[in-house]
A = this chain, B = another copy of it.
Amino acid sequence: MSQYMGYDGISLEFLKKHMVVVGDSVKVEADTTHVGIIMPRYEHADDKHIVLKLASGYNVGLEILGIKKIEKLDIQTPCVKMQEKQAHVKGLSKILLLSTGGTIASKVDYRTGAVTPVLTAEELNASVPELSKIANIDTEEVLSEYSENIMPKHWMRIAEKINNNIKSGYAGIIVAHGTDTMHYTSAFLSFALAGIPIPVLLVGSQRSSDRASSDAALNLIGAARLITSDISGGIYVAMHQDTSDDMVACHIGTRVRKNHTSKRGAFQTVGDKPAYIITDNNIQENFQGPFFKTDVFTPSIKLDSRVVLVKYHPGFDPKMLDWIVEAGYRGVIFEGTGLGHIGDITHESVKRAKDRGLFLGMTSQCIDGRVRMTVYESGRDLLNMGITPLEDMLPEVALVKAMWVFGKCDNAKEAEIAMLEDIASEMSH
């Protein structure tokens, strides 16, 4: 193990010249003064920066050229051993950290500004030394994918990996996941692993782990602290809460949505507070539960992905519905307008789809609020044609649930019953 792990060229020279190594606590004077721990870099990183982890959990990348002074502080940190497999500490809970790729397991290429996924769960764990004080972390890599490339088949691999580790004595499982589709994955896990006795927290980051202002460490630490606080079983998404640096929000896995493209507090529980808010010295519990409507853990890790999400809009061409029927889909989740409407131009195609045995479910593109199709005669027409209103299920969650439902149901009638059964807090009452 090198004391200069990942550094070379200019940055390596710089560290040697100032007699500091990875894991040292230092005070650096640049544009402003930073106090933090020198972090390892990863392969392909440029040689013009050093990375510091600040007390807040954020990493900051400092350009060598801009550093006026660097001074080693007289503090020991657990960071020096980060590359070695950490020995388990007696008395601490065990957590399993699974990695699937995404920004949280990514590094930034400072030359191009681009981000690529390269870190394994082990590297991720090693880069957040605070975790070892909270729990004994085992790590495993399941996938290495940007989350926009995560497909239903990947959901099943993650679910199976979790299911295989339920009886291994873990207090909980953390799944490091890209943020783009982590709410789709959390929804699938919520249905497929209904009744799971331990908490599973999906954790991502909006800024890559070796980048200035990464929220990866903060989110991982918050997730580990929540798991060790002994919460009950469920599937959650734990992400940075807002622009302040010390709050992690933990959202119900079936009620969460990525509502901003870039800001750190991008994830929100739709129409409600997050289930838990984790701050430096407190865990606030907003969710009364139960998460699952069943106490019995009955994993059902299968699906049929022949379900499509259709967002209705003025000018929508009903021929697309006809194509969906011909293409062999088993269900359509509509993102209708308002209380759950689609224009009367679709009626004939809707009837044909019903005649062919498809399940047609209605959600709203308003995102927040409940569909109610009895208020307007147009909605009642759609009800009469056999479209099923899906309460206040989020469109994305309804899609995932329908795929899961068709993994075990033979026809639209069975599917309708299963869709309206509250499994994992996906509907509020």
Q: Chain A: residues with CB nearer than 8 A to chain B?
A: 113-116, 146-152, 154-155, 179-181, 184-185, 258-263, 266, 305, 307-317, 319-320, 323-324, 327, 335-345, 364-372, 374-378, 380, 392, 396, 399-400, 403
Contacts and interface: CB of A to CB of B under 8 A. Distances in A.
A345 B149 CA distance: 7
- Copies of this chain held together in the complex: 2
A183 to B, nearest CB: 10
Given A152-B314, A370-B262, A114 B309 contact: no
A359 B323 CA distance: 22
A188 to B, nearest CB: 9
8 contacts: A113-B374, A148-B341, A151-B315, A261-B369, A261-B392, A262-B370, A317-B327, A320-B323
A325 B222 CA distance: 47
A310 B311 CA distance: 7
Given A152-B315, A184-B313, A314-B184, A262 B339 contact: yes
Contacts of A375: 113-115
Contacts of A344: 149
The 5 closest A-B pairs by CB, nearest first: A261-B369, A180-B337, A180-B338, A148-B341, A305-B315
Interface centre among A262, A340, A368, A403, by most B CB within 10 Å? Answer: A262
A121 to B, nearest CB: 20
Interface centre among A113, A311, A337, A344, by most B CB within 10 Å? Answer: A337
A369 to B, nearest CB: 3
Contacts of A260: 366, 368-369
Nearest to A154: B314
Given A155-B314, A311-B311, A399-B313, A378 B338 contact: no
A313 B261 contact: no
Given A149-B345, A377-B116, A311 B309 contact: yes
B262 A372 contact: yes
Contact of A261 (B148, B179, B339): B339
Contact of A180 (B185, B341, B367): B341
Nearest to A148: B341
A313 B148 CA distance: 8
A114 B151 contact: no
A314 B377 contact: no
A110 to B, nearest CB: 13
Contact of A146 (B152, B324, B376): B376
B370 A261 contact: yes
Contacts of A150: 314, 343
A384 to B, nearest CB: 13
Contact of A372 (B261, B315, B396): B261
Given A116-B376, A307-B315, 11 more contacts: A147-B337, A149-B343, A151-B315, A180-B339, A180-B341, A261-B368, A266-B366, A308-B316, A311-B311, A320-B320, A320-B323
Nearest to A336: B148
A311 B339 contact: no
A314 B305 CA distance: 9
B364 A261 contact: yes
A314 to B, nearest CB: 5
Nearest to A335: B311
Contacts of A259: 366-368
B113 A369 contact: no
Nearest to A369: B261
A179 B366 CA distance: 11
Given A339-B261, A366-B258, A378 B146 contact: yes
A242 to B, nearest CB: 13
A380 B261 contact: no
B369 A314 contact: no
Given A115-B375, A327-B319, A345-B149, A314 B181 contact: yes
Nearest to A184: B314
